[in-house]
Structure 1
Amino acid sequence: KSIHPPVKDGMCTNCHDPHQSEYKFQLKNEPPQLCFTCHEESMAKGKYVHGPVATGECSVCHNPHQSNFPKMLMANVNEVCFTCHSDKADAFKNKKFVHAPVEDSCANCHSPHAGEYQFNLKADGSRDLCFTCHEDKKDSISKASVKHGGLDTEKKCLACHDPHVSDYAKQLIAQPVDLCMNCHNKPLKTPSGGIMDMKAYLSKNNDHHGPIKQRDCSACHNTHGSDNFRMLRESFPPLFYAPFDPKNYALCFNCHEKTLVLDQNTTTLTNFRNSDQNLHFVHVNKQLKGRTCRACHDAHATKNPKHIRDSVPFATWALPIQFKITKTGGQCSPGCHQTFGYDRGTPVKNR
């Protein structure tokens, strides 16, 4: 319980004139000037002033005598706010996820009287305010060598996150893949080149990689920034050729078995084999000109089984793979070698 000090001290005449007054309730002055007799007037000054403060209606939020809540509030902080901001109250009831500071108190982020930032926020709401709690993100973003371009848009954090409530984890404003497509629905320029229109690409190629099927780009990409190219969560070779080292393929081996490229011979690990000759091993496991996974596979989507590309990306060229599958094997004719075939039963003798 909180009691206004003049009331607690029995000094009713600090605020009320016992004989006559020009103001309602025998007040000595109109609020907020009466309040400023004791309280600093600076609290009501700023570029943005809260509506009740601007109109001098302190008693909209505060009981001038006593209250069962701190700061002489009429109710707990959020209930006081919801008296006017009923749209937010409705949203809180209907959404799955509520931002922790909001659930605790609107005043964690908003100044209830006045401030220098829009919506009476205590700091720049697009990022600086977020970093007062999310210090780990501030640190990782500042250190990341590859940063998400979305962080530099006008909305910054708010381009992806709702600061109050959401139907999606991490306060996202949409399901992860749909959220990404809000920006990746057109070609984008980056410091290292560019990114294709991913929305159109995924629409045209219906054999989607597992994370895309699960509608979660963040399975492979760190959505804020990374020290790996293309904001990948783990290491993956950025170039077409790479000396083989399992550590360089940490991203792929999060889901796929390392033995797929470690065992030279197998009859169980892969169907991409000529009898028991492991053709993944042949392509990838080399110290000189080892092909990376994306030489033949697309990490997002294709029209072909096993995410086989239509063409091999080599420098500025796109060399058609011309992959053909059979019941027991297949063949390809890319520009990097003549037509080679494979068969899991009877090995093909390639020249």
Structure 2
Amino acid sequence: MSVKNITVLGSGIMGHGIAQVSAMSGYNVVLRDIEQQFLDKAMEKIRWSLEKLVTKEKITKQESDAILGRIKTIVDLKEAVKGADLIIEAVPEIMELKKKVYSELDQVADKNTVFASNTSTLPITEIANTTSRPERFIGIHFFNPPQLMKLVEVIPGQKTGPEVLNLTVDYVKSVKKEPVVCKKDVPGFIVNRLFIPMVHEACWLKQRENLKLEEIDSAVKFNLGFPMGIFELADFTGMDVIHKATIELQIRDKKVIFPHPDVEKLFNEKKLGQKSGEGFYKYSDEKYERIQLDETLAKKCNPISLAANILNNAAWLVTNKASDIAEIEKAAQLGLGLKKPIFETGREIGIKNIVTELNNLAKKYGVFYEPDPLLVSMQ
């Protein structure tokens, strides 16, 4: 099994980014969407991105032309998937829409073609089972924007064949990305299982301790080794993305997340973060600005409950054989920008202190906080 021809379904931010990185690595790419105008917009963005690389002398004008020459745009689905070795679907994160796409795709794609869904939260096995080829179906989660982010989560479904997993991992490496395999199709995979619950936990911490956003964010940045504060990171990601992921995680596993109403409230008020000018913080219309965080503010907040939250979910992934500590640390470093390993932070705080914190929270607020057996054993 080898990959030469790739079809990307959906030409939005993720789709055209995946098409670009694939073409830059020498693949023949067909980019498909339901209307030509969407494809024209996507090609404009790819051209702009490549022009920037030429200006920065990362690639030559000739290389840029050759990359563009490897990308074709086609509206007709049957024609778009003809001869494709790998089809990467990047349509919006709506289960019914994805299932509809795959029912059409299954009819027209060659029986040997591998299907890969670029989803961040939806269950791979459930989507795969709507096709006649679940053994040739896999999850491939690029991070936004695909041109810049190094991490790609690879998620086999329950029936995914080992050769399909190997082929996907090889493809990810070939486009100069770092694959992390989530061995089980668990809610949130690796990165979102760590990140999304932590946003809610930060809201609870703010409410329970009557803290300011900047105090929590400073503690997260300076004490937990995050590249920015958790509320800042949430605004950067977008409340629409976080709210959608929260719902998906909750449907699949009640214990993964303890939702705080503020996230849904911001979403309903269309305060989506930077993209709308306001989320947890307010943003001016000018260029992207960073929130002012400092070590003095960090001293006003003890972030142990946040460290406990991310460690408990990391431990859950190990206990449930979805990943191991080394892969989780790699995913957190590349996907969340962590400057310090999660378990190293845990050891600095003291695993015993983390477990005590979780037990105290469980007594006050319920079973969601019960410590994972792995953490208990590490004391």
* Range into which the TM-score falls when normalised by the shorter chain: under 0.3
Q: What TM-score do the two structures reach when normalised by structure 1? A: 0.24
Return the index of the structure with the highest Cα Rg.
Answer: 1
Q: TM-score, normalised by structure 2?
A: 0.22
